[in-house]
Structures are given as C-alpha cells and as structure tokens.
Amino acid sequence: MSDAVATRPVDAFVAAVRAGAAGARILGAGLASFAVDGRAPSVAVFAGSIDDVQACLREAHRRRLAVIPWGAGSHMALGNEPAAYDVALVCTGLQRLVDYQPADMTVTVEAGLPLAELQAMLATERQFVPLDPPGRDVATIGGALAANAQGSLRHTAGTARDWLIGLTVVQADGTLVRSGGRVVKNVAGYDMSKLYIGSLATLGVIVEVTFKLAPRPAASTTLALACDSPHGAAMLLFAARDAGLAVEAAEMLAPAAAAEICGAARWSALVRAAGGASAVGRSVRELRENAAGMQADVREVDAATAWPAWRRRFAGRPVMLGLSVLPSRVADAAEALDGTIENATISCTVSAGVVRAACDATDDAAARAAIAAAREVARQHDGATIVGAAPAAVKRDADVFGPTRNDFPIMRRLKHELDPQRILAPGRFVGRL
C-alpha cells in the first residue's frame, strides 16, 4: 500500500518541485479552499518567483499532471468543470514591480500583485489602469486578465485587451515566452498577448504584464437617474453618448438592483461623469436637463458607496450570467430578463451591449431555470450568454460558454499547439478544451 502511494506521479512531482523550485512552498493537505467546482487538487504549489512557476509546470508536464493556476481565487467560478485537477499553482507570491515609468505612462509588474495594490501605487502619480472588475479588492492582475474580468469602466475604456501592451507567460512545458513589449505602439510579431486574456490560463500562465496607463480624471460626479422603464434609462444613456458627454461609467440597473445600490426601486441609470472640471460640469448639467425632460428623478449619489456596492453585487454570487446583445437591444433584453429570473440583480453596460444578472438561486433547479431563461432571452435578442457562475452539477449539463462556432477548430488546434498534453486547466474553456 505505502509503496503504491510513494510511486504516485503526484508524489514524484512534489519531490521534484522541492528539489527544483527553491522558493516554492508546497501544501499537501487542507486543500478544500483550492477546490474548483467542488473538486480539490492533490497538492498546492505556492510559487515565490517566475522560476518556481516554470519549475512547477516543467515537472507537472513531465508527469501529465493537470494544473489550475490560482490568483486570489475571486474569479474561479468562471469556466466549465475541470476534466482533471492535480495541482493548484498559486501565483500570489509573484508581486514584483518590474518597472514603472510614470512619464512614459507604462508599468510592468508581476501578475500575482492584486490589481487594487497596483492602482494604489499608480494613484500617487495620478495614473491608473482603467480596469475595475467586480469583486472584493483582492483579485490579482493575472487572475483578472485570465478571466477577462470587467467592470463599469467598460463603458469608455473597453477591456483589458485595450490596455495590455506586453505579456510574459509560462507555457505548459515550463517555457517562458514573451509577446509585445513596453512601448505603447508595436506590431513586431503576432499579438499573442490577446490570446491569453480571458483564456482561463488554458494556454499558459500569465506571470508578468505591461500596461499602458491612463491619467486619473481630475473631477468626478456620480448621478442616479431613476426612470419608469429600461427604455427611458437607455434613452438617456444613448443621448449622453451621442452628445459626447464626459461619462466614464454608465450602468443601467433594474429596479431591484437600483434599490440595493443607489436608492429607488426603479429602472435607473447610474452615471459617473469624469474628466476636467468644466467638462464634468457641462455633462452633469446636460444629464440633469435630459432627465428632467423625461420626468426622471435625478440624485447625486456618493460614488464611494455606490460603485463598490455595484461591484460587490456582481461578485461571488452563486449564479452569474453575462448576456451580450447589441446596445440597441439591451433595454428589451433587460426587461425580459427582469421578468423571468426571480430575485435577480441586473445591470447593463448599455453602450457595450453587456447585460449582467446575478442571483442567489437556492437549489440546482432554480439555477438551471435561471440559465435557461437567460439563454432564451439572449436567443430572442440575437445575443449570447456566458454563465459566469453556477453549481457544478448544473455546469455538467451545459457548456457555460454556450455552443461553439466555426472558428472552434482553430481554437482546438491552438490549444494543441501550446498545450499538447492538455495539462493547463483541462476541460475548463470553450468547448471544454
């Protein structure tokens, strides 16, 4: 019996990592907190450096052990059930600031640093990376990128792909590869960095990133515009967009969400005007005028409470759904969704066609019903749904990313090229890659 245990590949792996990765700590028990979809790994490796990540993957690759990389764990609900899971590779020890040149407006950091810590450091120079994913402020940069997590800044700043200019990843076999660089404009080589954003680490483990930065706005005001219908709220937001107002974030909230986040239980637009003082002044004035013209109630709200509340409501909920429809269909889709999913918190980044719904479904049946409802609403509005979180048993029946398309063969070959043994988060991605 003990002989059989001693020859397990995992034990050989642990011995090899001990020998090869000096800075790594290894945990062989109490691994429930590293469970993914209810499945715990056999071992957790805490990497202290990029070298450790390389050593860990080299040894895992040699033994075909399945590895799931971890940041702070705030976005681990996203993804299909893993097909196998032996090693949790924890990257939170990778926190080195590699290079920050405020005058170049670029920063290079290791990926285990919490995004919030990076932002705090950049704030001293009045700069930031315009990414504000939902969640407690623990998400690591690598985790936020691998999950392509996005928050209210999506309205103006796009997604991580618009700010990432260089990336270093460790591939499945431990090889370190770079793409991009540290300059804001660069077309040398394929833009591989895009592939890792939102890949759930199925192509490589993100260990170092370079962002271009944005200046922090000088002034900012948050308004809640309470309307009678989603169409009214959406119309106000389209008007602001078409007038080119200095609006940094604009979410349309369904009544229940509005009640929780900014007051009135009505369809509301939560809008943050930001920029130079005079541009903010004019934007706030026009937002108020437009709202008055539609009999909407306008209130200035405390940004320091409203936005963190918004972020909390869309993180860590048992069931989370993300619909993507054209902006012009958002109001219809949100209304339909609000009528079909019980006790859902719904918020939409109208300009990006993003509809989020989160709920605390009490059992698998309720979760299944919510997902089916979201998929039906998406279908009716020519959109698609990604299930951001759901109970494991529910995920088993349906690919959380929905059906694959005719570019899936390219994705499958890409996975095969970069991770031929399928050791990186196997089964978790689109088409259960």
Partner 1 sequence: MTRDVVRALERALGRERVIASAEELIAFEYDATIERGQPQAVVFPDSTEQVSAAVKVAHRYDVPVIPRGAGTGLSGGAVAAVGGVVVALTRMKRVLEVDAVNRLAVVEPGVVNLDLSRAVSPFGLYYAPDPSSQRACTIGGNVAENAGGPHCLALGTTTNHVLGCELVLADGTIAQIGGRSRDVAGYDLTGAFVGSEGTLAIATTITVRLSRLPESTRTLLAIFDTVDDASNAVSSIIASGFVPAALEMMDRNIIRAVEPMLHCGYPLDAEAVLLIEVDGLEESTAEQAEAVAAICRANAARELRLAVEEADRALLWSGRKASISALGHLFPNYYVLDGVVPRTRLPAVLRQTYEIAERYGFAVANVFHAGDGNLHPNLLFDEREPGVTARVLEAGAEIMRACVAAGGSITGEHGVGLEKRDFLSWIFGEDDLRAMAGLKAAFGAGEQYNPCKAFPTHHGCGEVTQAQVQRAAAAVGADLYV
Residues 328-347 that bind partner 1 (CB under 8 A): 328
* DSSP codes, 73-114: STTTTSSPPPS---EEEE-TT---EEEEEGGGTEEEEETTSB
Sign of the torsion formed by the C-alpha atoms of 210, 211, 216 and 221 = negative
Q: Which is nearer to partner 1, 8 or 413 (CB)?
A: 413
What CA–CA distance (Å, rounded) separates 250 from 154?
9
Q: Which is nearer to partner 1, 127 or 221 (CB)?
A: 127
What CA–CA distance (Å, rounded) separates 378 from 305?
31
Q: Which is nearer to partner 1, 64 or 126 (CB)?
A: 126
CB of residue 73 to partner 1, shortest distance in Å = 22
Residues in contact with partner 1, total (CB under 8 A)? 83
Can you state the angle between helices 364-380 and 330-340, rounded to 10 degrees? 150
- The total of other beta-carbon atoms located within 10 Å of residue 193's CB is 23
Binding mask 350-379 for partner 1 (x = CB under 8 A): --xxx-------------------------
Question: What is the identity of the amino acid at 62?
Answer: R
DSSP summary character for residue 48: S
Span near partner 1 by CB under 8 A; candidates 18-26, 37-45, 121-129, 297-305: 121-129
Which residues face 320 on adjacent strands?
358, 389
Q: Which is nearer to partner 1, 249 or 306 (CB)?
A: 249
CB of residue 410 to partner 1, shortest distance in Å = 5
Q: Which is nearer to partner 1, 45 or 355 (CB)?
A: 355
Binding mask 158-197 for partner 1 (x = CB under 8 A): xx-xx--------x---xxxxx-xxxxxxxxxxxxxxx-x
Q: Which is nearer to partner 1, 120 or 177 (CB)?
A: 177
SS3 category, 225: strand
What CA–CA distance (Å, rounded) separates 136 from 29?
26
What CA–CA distance (Å, rounded) separates 109 from 211?
9
Q: Which of residues 22-81 bind partner 1 (CB under 8 A)?
A: none
Task: Determine if 105 is a binding residue for partner 1 (CB under 8 A).
Answer: yes
**125 — phi, psi (to 5°)?**
-105, 15
What CA–CA distance (Å, rounded) separates 92 from 115?
11
CB of residue 304 to partner 1, shortest distance in Å = 23
Question: What is the identity of the amino acid at 47?
Answer: A
Q: Which of residues 381-420 bind partner 1 (CB under 8 A)?
A: 384, 386, 401-402, 404-411, 413-414, 416-418
Binding mask 73-102 for partner 1 (x = CB under 8 A): ----------------------------xx
Task: Determine if 301 is a binding residue for partner 1 (CB under 8 A).
Answer: no
Find the binder of partner 1 among 48, 79, 133, 322 (CB under 8 A): 322
Q: Which is nearer to partner 1, 90 or 425 (CB)?
A: 425
How big is the CA angle at 217 (ends 231 and 116), to the nearest 5 degrees? 90
Span near partner 1 by CB under 8 A; candidates 62-70, 274-282, 290-298, 304-312: 274-282
Q: Which of residues 218-247 bind partner 1 (CB under 8 A)?
A: 238, 241-246
Nearest CA to 222 out of 270, 183, 179 is that of 270
